[in-house]
Structure 1
Amino acid sequence: MKIFILFISATLLACHMHAQVAKKQTIMVSAKAVNGGGVLLKWPVDTLSGNYDIYKRTSLLIDNWGSKPYIKLPGNASSFFDSMLVEGTAAEYSLAKFAGLNTQSSGVIYAGNKLTEPVNSGSIILLIDSNYLVPLTMEILQLKTDMENEGMITHLIYAGRNQKPPQIRAQIIALYNSTKIKITTLLILGHVPVPYSGYFSATGNAPPPDGHIEGSGNHTGAWPADVYYGELDASWSDDEVNCTTGASARNYNVFNDGKFDQTKLPDAVDLEVGRVDLFDLPAFVKSDTVLIKQYLNRNHSWRTGSTVSIERALIDDNFTAFNLASTGYGNFAAMVPSDSIFNNRDYFPAQKQGSYLWSYACGAGSYSSCNGVGSTANFNNDSFNNTFTILAGSFFGDWDSRNNLLRAPLASSSLASFWGGIPKWYVHHMGLGKSIGYGTRITQNNIDFYYNGGFNSSFNSVHIALMGDPTLKIRNLNPPRLLTAQSSNRKVYLNWSPSLGVKDGYQIYRVDSMNNYMKISAQLFTDTFYVDDKNYQTGNYTYAVRAIKLETTPSGSYYNGSGAAITTVNHINGIGEYTNNELNIEVFPNPSQGVITIHFEEECMNLKDLLISDLTGKVIYKTDSGKTCENNFMLINLGSVQTGIYLISGSISNKKFVKKLVVIN
């Protein structure tokens, strides 16, 4: 097929074409966390010539690998222990085997040792097909609740099927710019209008990603481009491209037709975008509304730990002379044990006999089929059992088509799918608890930070898209339930029902108005109750409780948290309402701006240890002398003390007193 001639000439990997090229060109690196600190990287011994260079970045926010390798290793090496990785952290490692100037193989892993990720997940926009407003009210509410329990702020936008993409994007941008808590993610639910963009042609900006130029399939013109909704800064033009060579009029792109000119991204994608669109899948008989409802119910079961999958993966590679399947080999090594990655099993027969967390398949394709794999109709079978799948082949990467093969898994059992290998995808961070949307965005933005696969210049192009919910992760804990909170005797009493399944304990948080989760204690609690006796101020409070487990994966170890049980309470601290005072005092003015007068009911020459402290116990004023007390009055200037609630305490002739002071500055 001509599609692959383009790939062969563009590939960066200097390997002769032979069986299992994708596996040979991939360093299937995994990691093991070591108690006390450090991480052991491991990979299979290979027979390729050359030596290893390993690069390291200590933060995902660092946008380069450095000018020199972190370490060099001989060609027969199969492991490396990094003692510098301390507990509680993670680092990303890029491995490459070089023979002279030729790259023989490469791999990457995000490895951690007891990594603790922040609870807060930012904000998400649910961009919902307005056709589902009524029939899927409860399912959408459940999704919204699940996401909020996981620490996300949710925003809903309903869009009609006849709206124009620029109108919808304008709503997204306006919301993005107006929210206090940064929006990071966009889930498109349903047949929200599909943006099209690109000049894919032999004479255009780039060939079609699948290589079918004019005279060889004519998959030319504009392709679906959901990245348009996730890129929020650049201008997208519609007055430059005039291409009508496509076999389908759907791909025509002419001046001012509502389809954009850009083939490569005009700027970096800002949001993690995924789409669940099950419209126009007549092979499944059921309506798209019913199929979406079933998807959302499966989504809820997965993210709450009610459904699990066997942690294994299969690779059904029908293009063994090319490196497309390296997307499977490289990512699976970070998430699935090496002895549970199978490349000798067929895609459909195996996944109808038992569950697979991941699967990969590639072959010559049409819009609804993949040679050596199957067709859209094969997914219409209740016994198909998969959670995340990757497919590659001609045509069906153009996913806005009838009975499209890339969307079909979501109408069956899968929760996410993508066109992997065109270009090469990077979702390996999921091995340490990241979402699939994180890998989607870095793949879309990748030019050469990671090896892009060299396939038809498909990297950083507008067609790269995730089918599925971008917030999904590979491991999920069952959350605690029925959290209650009662305020009594200046304390808050929490009780909850236990989460199901294995866990190390519970983490308890107070949640502020900006959705920040603040741990009450660094320790985990194994009971299903807790008394918060350090909440000193009266007010309305939100509490959250999550199940926590230290997960061990082929990427090391990390602390995983369930969705939270959340409740609110009107807490009355009662500071100053002391009935056991042995001595009464008066404070005025109260509230004060920092200068107060205290009146004692007894002679204050015998005053001992008058203290003024804040609610954490920090002393801001102290006197043990009655010399400043005249006629049972004492004047105190607290200076520029901060606004807040303070306690005045002390004793006269062994009689104790406590009084609340409010300072407003």
Structure 2
Amino acid sequence: MKTKITFIILLISFFYLNFSCVFAAKPTISDFVIYYNVELDSLSPAITIKWKATSDTRNFKIVRKLKNESKFTQVAYLEGNTAEQWRDTDIEIGKEYDYGLTQAKEERTAFAYFSAGIDIPLKDYRGSLLMLIDSTIFQSLTEEIQQLTEDIIGDGWQLHIRQVPRAETFDKSKVDIVANIIKEVIETDTNLRTLFLLGRVPVPYSGNYAIDGHRPQHEGAWPCDGYYQSLDKKGIPQFSPNWTDSYANNTTAISERTWNKPGDGKFDNSTFPYKLNLECGRVDMYDLPAFSLTEEELLRRYLQHNHKYRNNLIDYKPRAIVNDFFGLNGKELFVTNAWIMFGGILGADKIDTSLMSETLRNEKYLFAYGSGAGSYVSCNKVAYTNDIVKNGGYHTIFSFLFGSWFGDWDSKNNLMRTILAADPPALTCAWAARPYWYINHMGTDENIAYSALVTQNNDKSHYVSNSMFGHKGTHISLLGDPTLRIYTVPPVKNLSASMFGSEQEPTSLEVRLKWEYDDNNIIGYNVYRAKNINEVFVKLNDTPIKECEFVDKNFPSDSAIYQVRAINKNLTFSTSYFTQSTGKFAKTKTISNITDNQEISAYIFPNPVENDFYIHIRGQKGKKLTVNIYDVLGKDYGIIYNDINTYDELKVKFTTNSIDKNLPLKNGVYFLKIQEDNNQVYLPLFIKK
């Protein structure tokens, strides 16, 4: 009986997502794909677009805008089918441009979008990120969360971390708690750009429709993280429409979870009431009982794989795979979204159409797209929850799926979240085709959530294509780490820092950084410094450093932490841009806090630490001295030293696995707070066992 029901659901799914009229002649993907190449000329400078003309082409249109502009402007209109290239000389080195191509044919129209630029500068500082963490996983995943925070900070982000209450089912009061936390951070940090929801963060719901076409069985409110994204209202007109919960009254859906009634806390809105300003991504492994692993273990596996990808410990081919089991008979042409996305980053020649379930279990591709009739746990011939649990996941990073039911991702054993929970896991997943997604900015070193936000804010007048439904829909969301980008530069190795000079002559003190790197085919390195890991890191060098060392003579008198990033220049399908590795933090051996009038100073040796380490403290005899230890998440491990200083200079030995001194510490970055009366200093402590 269960098999028969599943078959009926799949059959209905195919019907609902293929209701559009059919073309007279059977089309092929070539009818809807523009085969083009982009050439960069840094001397002129110029960007040349070359494409393949077809006999039935009526005209070819090119539009362009600067990256941060909202609307495209037409720059070329070519009648007939003879033109096969166009050269844009109205460009500047270092600027990012977005291009749109439209090839109008006798019966059909093809679209393409890509980003381009010559020698696009580094994105040193990416803005602020607020990580909202399910409070029930905070302690058990401390080591993985700490590693994640270091990777994110090492990628140019400033980080805020807040714990939030867990909500396994919809809970409006807990959604409000999360919303208020976001608002508080917005008020204090005008650079807040992105939200990262980790664990079972309360899920908002909104809508009164079924974007997959299953009416009334799937009508009502779907999960809507976009509500959190809407809380930054900078630039939003005062009298814009708002979120309401007063008129949607729909209890026809099969699942009570998606019912929407007035005053139930689920919003009426089926489209976003105004432009979203914040990016967002969610990593949530709740309610996946098909796996034998616990929710915590699934999160741990995801975070460990995330770290490996960011640090180039796994090699993914710059290729994409596309599987379509809907066909091209309808007007919406779902699969063409994949060719628009991947063709604009990699080029059409880097797209394969072999069976995903076979290819991606043997080869590693950056991108994957699959569409087919669906259920909550399946996308026909593309992916199935039970198969992934039994036979393993797909070797891809950025995945996109489309089909019925599973786009409502807050469901039991949901296919999209299964993709992220698998072994190996994909690191992002999105429901793409209603509407089309546009990820061309990833080709200029942007993170995936930037493209998600472009998609959420797009209506038919901006990025124009065969996309017909779902524009600005409250169902649009990103599953996975929102900060991920295409990483091509491995990080440095064995980074260390040493203090040289005499403490009696503070002007002679300097910090010497040294590191190793395996690849000589890079431009150089950048060195950054901050007073602590939660502040914005400032670049210390004006030009790339060529050697694997750096001397800092102007370090601050209190604590300092360094990071080093390798630099290279990427030449891609349509851009040349400068990019960096994930930063590695300096392993400071002796960071002095001496000034001419400072009454307390200290340093740690050795640093990094495997087991034993010493704290050398210079203070005032007879004063009470305390030492506290914290991790980068702000967790207080308590006092590890508390006594009267009987010497002007004190040397105290500690062991990292000493439970009696509150030091059963794992690998990572910590901070020591050393206080004598009203004087205090902070020292970074690096543990590497």
**Is TM (by shorter chain) over 0.5?**
yes
Contact 1:491 1:573 in 2 (8 A): no
Superposition deviation, residue 527 in structure 1? 0.8
Contact 2:312 2:489 in 1 (8 A): yes
Name 1:379's counterpart in structure 2.
388
Q: Deviations over 1:126-145 (max 9, x none)?
A: 11112211210110111111
The CA distance in 1 between the partners of 2:517 and 2:382, in whole Å, is 40
Letter in 2 for 1:91: Y
Superposition deviation, residue 160 in structure 1? 2.1
Superposition deviation, residue 158 in structure 1? 1.7
The CA distance in 1 between the partners of 2:480 and 2:177, in whole Å, is 23
Name 2:497's counterpart in structure 1.
484
Superposition deviation, residue 478 in structure 1? 2.2
Name 2:370's counterpart in structure 1.
361
Q: Which residue of the other structure, out of 195, 204, 207, is the alignment partner of 1:195?
A: 204
Unaligned runs of 5+ in 2: 1-10, 234-240, 502-506, 597-689
Query: What is the percentage of aligned positions where both structures have the same residue?
Result: 30
TM-score by length of 2: 0.75
Name 2:549's counterpart in structure 1.
529
Letter in 2 for 1:20: T
The CA distance in 2 between the partners of 1:76 and 1:551, in whole Å, is 33
Residues 148 and 79 of structure 1: CA distance in aligned 2, closer, same or farther (over 3 Å): same
Superposition deviation, residue 451 in structure 1? 2.1
Q: Which residue of the other structure, out of 44, 52, 59, is the alignment partner of 2:60?
A: 52
The CA distance in 2 between the partners of 1:15 and 1:551, in whole Å, is 42
The CA distance in 2 between the partners of 1:16 and 1:497, in whole Å, is 65
Query: Which deviates the most, 419-428 or 543-552?
Result: 543-552
**1:313 correspondence with 2:320:** yes
Q: Which residue of the other structure, out of 484, 492, 516, is the alignment partner of 1:498?
A: 516
Contact 1:27 1:105 in 2 (8 A): yes
**1:440 correspondence with 2:452:** yes
The CA distance in 2 between the partners of 1:97 and 1:80, in whole Å, is 13
Name 2:195's counterpart in structure 1.
186
**1:114 correspondence with 2:109:** no
Superposition deviation, residue 221 in structure 1? 0.8
Q: Which residue of the other structure, out of 523, 543, 562, is the alignment partner of 2:581?
A: 562
The CA distance in 2 between the partners of 1:15 and 1:69, in whole Å, is 31
Q: Which residue of the other structure, out of 20, 24, 28, is the alignment partner of 2:28?
A: 20
Q: Which residue of the other structure, out of 257, 270, 274, is the alignment partner of 2:264?
A: 257
Contact 1:490 1:573 in 2 (8 A): no
Contact 1:487 1:571 in 2 (8 A): no
Residues 556 and 573 of structure 1: CA distance in aligned 2, closer, same or farther (over 3 Å): farther
Name 1:459's counterpart in structure 2.
471
**1:209 correspondence with 2:228:** no
**1:91 correspondence with 2:97:** yes
Residues 537 and 433 of structure 1: CA distance in aligned 2, closer, same or farther (over 3 Å): closer
SS at match of 1:447: coil
Letter in 2 for 1:40: T
Contact 1:422 1:453 in 2 (8 A): no
Q: Deviations over 1:55-74 (max 9, x none)?
A: 111x22211213x4345465
Contact 1:536 1:573 in 2 (8 A): no
Letter in 2 for 1:466: L
Q: Which residue of the other structure, out of 411, 432, 445, is the alignment partner of 1:401?
A: 411
TM-score by length of 1: 0.77
**1:135 correspondence with 2:140:** yes
Query: Which deviates the most, 511-520 or 468-477?
Result: 511-520
Residues 26 and 209 of structure 1: CA distance in aligned 2, closer, same or farther (over 3 Å): farther
Contact 1:486 1:494 in 2 (8 A): yes
Contact 1:446 1:452 in 2 (8 A): no
Residues 491 and 209 of structure 1: CA distance in aligned 2, closer, same or farther (over 3 Å): same
Name 1:392's counterpart in structure 2.
402
Q: Deviations over 1:54-94 (max 9, x none)?
A: 1111x22211213x434546534443332333332221111
SS at match of 1:96: strand
Q: Deviations over 1:555-597 (max 9, x none)?
A: 22111111223448558899xxxxxxxxxxxxxxxxxxxxxxx
SS at match of 1:50: strand
Superposition deviation, residue 263 in structure 1? 0.6
Residues 7 and 248 of structure 1: CA distance in aligned 2, closer, same or farther (over 3 Å): closer
Name 1:304's counterpart in structure 2.
311
Query: Which deviates the most, 106-115 or 486-495?
Result: 486-495
The CA distance in 1 between the partners of 2:295 and 2:437, in whole Å, is 28
SS at match of 2:119: strand
SS at match of 2:96: strand
Q: Deviations over 1:230-274 (max 9, x none)?
A: 111474221211111112111110111121111110111221111
How do 1:244-643 residues align onto structure 2 when only pairs under 5 Å count? Answer: 244-321=251-328, 322=330, 323-343=333-353, 345-380=354-389, 381-382=391-392, 384-412=394-422, 413-448=425-460, 449-451=462-464, 453-455=466-468, 457-481=469-493, 482-484=495-497, 486=499, 488=501, 492-501=510-519, 502-511=521-530, 518-532=538-552, 535=554, 543-567=562-586
Larger radius of gyration: 1
The CA distance in 1 between the partners of 2:102 and 2:347, in whole Å, is 21
SS at match of 2:63: strand
SS at match of 1:85: coil
The CA distance in 2 between the partners of 1:522 and 1:70, in whole Å, is 40
Letter in 2 for 1:486: M
The CA distance in 2 between the partners of 1:516 and 1:82, in whole Å, is 38
Contact 1:491 1:532 in 2 (8 A): no
Residues 477 and 573 of structure 1: CA distance in aligned 2, closer, same or farther (over 3 Å): farther
SS at match of 2:416: coil
Residues 63 and 302 of structure 1: CA distance in aligned 2, closer, same or farther (over 3 Å): same
Superposition deviation, residue 3 in structure 1? 7.1
Query: Which deviates the most, 27-36 or 469-478?
Result: 27-36
Query: Which deviates the most, 30-39 or 122-131?
Result: 30-39
The CA distance in 2 between the partners of 1:8 and 1:86, in whole Å, is 45
Q: Which residue of the other structure, out of 154, 170, 176, is the alignment partner of 2:180?
A: 170
The CA distance in 2 between the partners of 1:222 and 1:350, in whole Å, is 36
Residues 540 and 297 of structure 1: CA distance in aligned 2, closer, same or farther (over 3 Å): closer
Contact 2:397 2:428 in 1 (8 A): yes
Name 1:220's counterpart in structure 2.
219
Root mean square deviation, CA, Å: 2.9
Superposition deviation, residue 16 in structure 1? 5.4
Q: Deviations over 1:2-51 (max 9, x none)?
A: 8788878889xx97573435x53233544333343333334444444211
Letter in 2 for 1:128: I
Name 1:104's counterpart in structure 2.
109
Q: Deviations over 1:472-523 (max 9, x none)?
A: 0122422224242536555744322224445321123455899555544443
